[in-house]
Amino acid sequence: EVDFAAELQIEAGGFHRSPVHRPYRAHVLRHFPETCPWSAPFYPDAIVLLCFPRGLRFRREAEDRTAHFHTFVMTRDDGAKVYGASLIYYEAVVDPKIVGAIQMLQLMFEQQILYDDNPRNSLCATGTRAERPPSPSCSLDLQRETIYSPKSICLLSSVPAIACFEQYLRQLFLLSRREAPPLPLECYIANLLYEVPLPPRGASLSFSC
């Protein structure tokens, strides 16, 4: 299980966009199990890129924040494949450091719109740059609006049971939204890893959270 959170490290080419819509770097918050002797080495940088191929991007209140699922495949040096399934969802940003950093970047961005040498800015007859306010789609007041950061729960497996992975991740996500889940989430993950048997070829197995 992999979980990600925002770092305000901007990807290359993102400075010309509003701070909310710039791509940021993600990092692994935690993974379970911590050590897995029977599996391939865990490469957090590669997993981050596959879970967030376009970088970590915030969402505003008016934008779609529906959880979405995608898959990926990694090929190891020995040719073995590792199948990944990622469910991305959004949580409100409440960390005052992140909120303050975004607000500062927003102020800098608005000043850039007003003063930098950009074709979007018109020139007065005297040769001075005409100031114009940022468009409503570019303006942002975090004292009145909440922004949301994406996170990903990811499963890695040597078995391409994609439909099962999606069902499992969505149920795990719903459990995490409960105020008091029946058991710690690690118990459900350990159950899948250590207690759910792998069915033989041609057979099926049903389970539920």
Compute the distance between CA of residue 105 and CA of residue 96 in angstroms, rounded to an integer: 14
The amino acid sitting at 53 is P
Share of residues in the chain with pLDDT > 90 (%): 25
* Regions of the chain with pLDDT less than 70: 1-15, 36-41, 115-138, 205-209
Compute the distance between CA of residue 139 and CA of residue 106 in angstroms, rounded to an integer: 8
Whether the full predicted model's pTM is greater than 0.85, yes or no, is no
pLDDT digits (tens, 9 = 90+) for 26-64: 899 888 877 766 566 678 888 999 999 989 999 999 899
Distance of CA 95 to the CA centre of its chain: 16
Query: Which residues in 153-170 are b (16+ Cβ under 10 Å) and which e?
Result: bbbbbeeebeebbbbbbb
